Amino acid sequence: MRTSNEFKRECRRYFYYVSQLAYLEEQINHINHILTKPKEPRLEIIGQPAKNVDSKIVSLINQKMQLDKERNDILETMEVIERLRTLPKPWNDILWKNLVHGETVDILVEEFGISRSHFYRRMRGYIKEILSRNLHV
């Protein structure tokens, strides 16, 4: 189970996860393209035993499986972070701006007209709610 601090760190990395997901998708598509092409000429080197070609294919499949696992882990993390969007308004915007975009508490309490203590109390409660939903999904 994630702690509140781990969740906050993951939120700050949200846009990294978005770019990493795009990169992994590109790599997976590239491997799928290689594996589905009929008899890729660069895999068949004249005089090379078929066993070497097969080991390259197995290596590609293993690489694809690892990339799929990384992709699924990132998607799972992003799903939990995106649960911030399901909170009641305006708290979904407040916490998204603070946890994901890194806007300071001072700016947010002034913008939304709330006290710091109220902000922190609500944030703790909503993070606890999001993380407990993670157990039931």
CA–CA separation, 69 and 77 (whole Å): 12
Q: Which two tokens stand for residue 98?
A: 């603070």
Question: Among candidates 125, 127, 73, which has minimal Cα distance to 100?
Answer: 127
The dihedrals phi and psi of 126, each to the nearest 5 degrees, come to -70, -35
Stretch 13-20: mean pLDDT, rounded?
A: 97
| 99 within 8 A of 12, measured Cβ to Cβ | yes
Question: pLDDT tens digits for 62-115?
Answer: 999 999 999 999 999 999 999 999 999 999 999 999 999 999 999 999 999 999
| 130 exposure class (CB count in 10 Å sphere: 0-12, 13-18, 19+) | buried
pLDDT, mean over the chain: 87
pTM of the model: 0.79
**Domain boundary assignment for the chain:** 4-136
In 10 A of CB 44, how many CB atoms?
A: 12
Question: Among candidates 14, 15, 17, 7, which has minimal Cα distance to 130?
Answer: 7
Stretch 118-134: mean pLDDT, rounded?
A: 90
Q: Which two tokens stand for residue 37?
A: 């092409």
